[in-house]
Amino acid sequence: MTRDGDAEFIILTGPLGSGKTTLLMDYLSSPQASETGVIVNEAGAIDIDGAILSTASNGTSLTKLPNGCICCSLGNDLLAAVDTLIAEQSHAGRAPFRQIVLECSGLAYPAPIVRNVAMFRKHAFRLRVLSTFDGTAGPPDEVMLPIVASQLAAAQAVVLTKVELVGVAALDQAIAAITSYNPLVKPIVLSDRSARAASAFAPSSKRTTRSILLADHPTAHPRIKVFRIAWPVPPPWRAISDWLDVLSETLGMRLLRVKGLVTVRDCPDVILVESVGTTFATPRRIAAEMVSDKGLVVIARDIECISLSSISSECRRTVGPNITDTSSLMQRV
């Protein structure tokens, strides 16, 4: 039982120890969480987070996925967990869910989960990725970098946690790190834990994208790159689609995020293009008069501009795009 077409499915992700469970626990203890269902996934065999959340759930429907990190063992388990939550909510005579939150393991890549949720046919959800980021943590090591980068880049919102433990300089560094991994996001930075949780899980607005703004500082890690993609002459949609297909095939898991607005030949509107990893949302038309800036932002790791440019040579349908590496001096798209 959900509010079909209106209920949100929130993928709560973030690095190990970055405060996901604490953030969710703070939210579940508030009245705003009364129509929230929770699914908890642990990478290990012991369901620690589920036990912690159960003590603070305030009657919230909660179920668990104990079979390892969800991005590695999806199958039908996630859909079954959603069905279980909805059935329990209905049998209890409670109001339909306004949102279902999946708390992921800190080792999970968001893209496979996004792909799985997007394939749901029984339920109509608005999908959102929410990430946490520890204000006291330094940069990730080489082992964790691919995971952390994918989590932050996938998010529509990033919550800076443990704000109360850091000084102004460290706080500025943490904010810079968040926006350099994901220049498309504005971090949630609140020292009050209750306010932080309320802001993080507040219903997302249905804003029309007027522009995409890139931060004005370099990326936090030399292996993370942000590129500006713009076609000098509006191509047909098929040409853009082909280019994106080759981009996905070439980069694979190194592709972290794509978002932007493109002008297409013989179309009065602009097209919103968005992906988490290689999972692309259905392209959506936006009235041209609502858009001030056009182009794509591509966030990827372990790729140089010259290598990205070579992708254009494989797409023969039209003039290839101009590609600019904005990692060291980001600009408006």
Q: What is the pLDDT of residue 233?
A: 86
Average pLDDT, the chain: 81
Domain 224-325 has CATH 3.30.1220.10: yes
Residue pointed to by tokens 């968040």: 178
Q: Report strand pairing: 126-134 vs 8-13.
A: parallel
- List, for residues 3-17, the tens digit of each pLDDT value: 555 789 999 999 988
Q: For residue range 52-83, list pLDDT tens digits in order.
A: 455 455 556 777 775 555 555 555 788 888 88
Domain map of the chain by residue range? 8-201, 224-325
pLDDT tens by residue, 292-317 = 778 888 999 988 776 777 775 555 45
In degrees and rounded to multiples of 5, residue 281 shows phi and psi of -75, 160
How far apart are alpha carbons 305 and 232 in whole angstroms? Answer: 17
Q: Which residue has the higher pLDDT, 317 or 112?
A: 112
For residue range 86-104, what is the model confidence (pLDDT) as tens digits?
Answer: 888 888 888 889 999 999 9
Would you say 71 and 32 are in contact if contact means Cβ atoms under 8 Å apart? no
**How many CB atoms neighbour CB 38 within 10 A?**
27
**Amino acid letter for position 296:** L
Q: Which DSSP string corresponds to 257-316?
A: EEEEEEE-TT-SSEEEEEEETTEEPPPEEE-GGG-S--EEEEEEES--HHHHHGGGGG--
Render pLDDT for 159-184 as a digit per residue (tens, 0 to 9).
999 998 999 999 999 998 898 899 88
d(C-alpha 155, C-alpha 13), whole Å:
8
Q: 202-221 burial, b if ≥16 CB within 10 A, otherwise e?
A: eeeeeeebeebbbbeebbbb
CATH architecture assignment, domain 8-201: 3-Layer(aba) Sandwich (3.40)
Q: Give yes or no for residue 333 having a pLDDT over 50.
A: no
11: part of which helix (H) or strand (E)?
A: strand 8-13
Q: What are residue 161's DSSP bridge partners?
A: 134
